[in-house]
Amino acid sequence: MNPIESYALPNRDSIIEQILNDQIDIHSVSDVEPLLEVLPADDPDLHRKLGDRLAANALPDAALLAYHKAAKGYLNAGMVLQAIVAKILEWSIVKPSHREGRAFHAMVRRQDSGDVPSQFLFSQLTYEEMVSLMIRLTRVRCLPDETVYDIGQEATGIYFIVSGELAEHRPNSENIRTMAEIGLMQNDIFGDIFPLEETSLCRARVTSTTHSELVTISKPVLKAICYRFPRIRELIERLSRAKTVHRGERAWKTVRRSSRYCLPADVELAFMTQGTDGRQPIRGTAKDLSTGGICVALKNEGADTDMDFLLQHPAALTILEGNQTAIDGLTGNVAWRKTVGNSNRPTHLVGIAFDAMAEETTMALNAFCTISNDEQDMIWNLWNHLVRH
């Protein structure tokens, strides 16, 4: 019996959950076709996960397609590092043509680098520079509480975080007997590699706090690349404060958490459906808010709603603080969606890209998102304490 037949094909959520948990056995291309019919086309994480599963089961042709879709989805979502890793996996199966490589590089260069360290680096590279780094990256997977390296070890390379969260522990500048902990997340860079021409020791201990995926490049290889392409070194040094770092400080620029508001805030969405007598409101919680868009976890009362129909329509959004309106006048369209949880109690996550907004709305949203670094650190430390305890 086809292993997919044991799952109700119309129940897409169940199939997605089985893929994410590595519980579907795939033995042939014919097993994949039913999956592709029900998987959301705009979920790059899911296609990447499926590609890994197919590659592990020696189905390279199907894995190639999954990785291609993942890379395209990541780029559409502005996730350059994740797209590059998906492309590395795709091109490891079939070597790309010169035209394909150039086309991918052009798409990477069009991405806004913003305040994301890894994205800043790769979006600034020429085609030759990008390829020289890509083909030398090595993937590393970490389990929770796994040590990547420790203080005093010889520094062997730099690491880019593809997914997951890690913690960097450095001696505190005020009391060297205590450690300062800095949270690292997706798209951060770490590694005490400077000076490149000399042996260097790790000034921190880095451990994973969740299942994580990294890509790394060794120090000798990076040194050789920088000798051939000096501008790569210039860009990496621009991201690093290695020459001025003090005890207790990070050597690398970190993803600015203050650029996104990642703690819960209530959201009311009203989808403008045609052929109805008005707006169809639904409540949710903001999981990730920036000045360009928002990720919303819809409330459980929306579980019985025809989400496929509803999410095809424009949305008007109101962000709430308690029962008070914090920001109104936001509109946008659903750019992606994902369903997590089991089929009995699914949670719908939707990503909405904002439309152009009035000046006063822009100012209000900027004020809401751009919390000062001290306030942001205090909020995150409190949040981590509440979650872990």
pLDDT higher than threshold 80 for residue 66: yes
Spell out the long-range contacts of 274-280 with Cβ–Cβ below 8 A and sequence spacing 24 or more: 274/313, 279/316, 280/310
pLDDT value of residue 256: 52
Of residues 271 and 155, more confidence is placed in 155
3-state secondary structure of 43: coil
Cα(181)–Cα(203) distance, integer angstroms: 13
Summarised one tens digit per residue, pLDDT across range 15-35 is 555 555 555 666 555 556 666
Is residue 171 within 8 A of residue 229, CB to CB? The reply is no
pLDDT value of residue 36: 60
**Considering only 149-153, 266-270, 279-283, which range has the smallest mean pLDDT?**
279-283
Q: Can you list the positions of beta strands (E) in the chain?
A: 138-142, 147-149, 157-163, 166-171, 179-184, 189-190, 205-208, 212-218, 265-271, 280-289, 293-298, 315-321, 324-340, 347-354
pLDDT value of residue 40: 65
Read off the pLDDT band of 97 (50, 70, 90): confident
Read off the pLDDT band of 96 (50, 70, 90): confident
Structure tokens at 118: 């890894």
Summarised one tens digit per residue, pLDDT across range 356-379 is 778 778 777 776 765 444 444 444
| Integer angstrom CA distances of residue 35 from 45, 50, 202, 267, 311 | 15, 9, 45, 33, 22
Of residues 327 and 212, more confidence is placed in 212
Cα(290)–Cα(318) distance, integer angstroms: 14
pLDDT value of residue 376: 44
Summarised one tens digit per residue, pLDDT across range 30-44 is 556 666 666 666 678
Instruction: Determine the average pLDDT of the residues in 264-277.
Output: 71
pLDDT value of residue 133: 92
What's CA 34's distance to the chain center, in Å?
A: 27
pLDDT value of residue 170: 82
| Integer angstrom CA distances of residue 271 from 218, 277, 331, 350 | 50, 12, 10, 13
pLDDT value of residue 334: 80
Cα(186)–Cα(189) distance, integer angstroms: 9
Tally: H helices and E strands in the chain: 13, 14
pLDDT value of residue 378: 47
pLDDT higher than threshold 90 for residue 162: yes
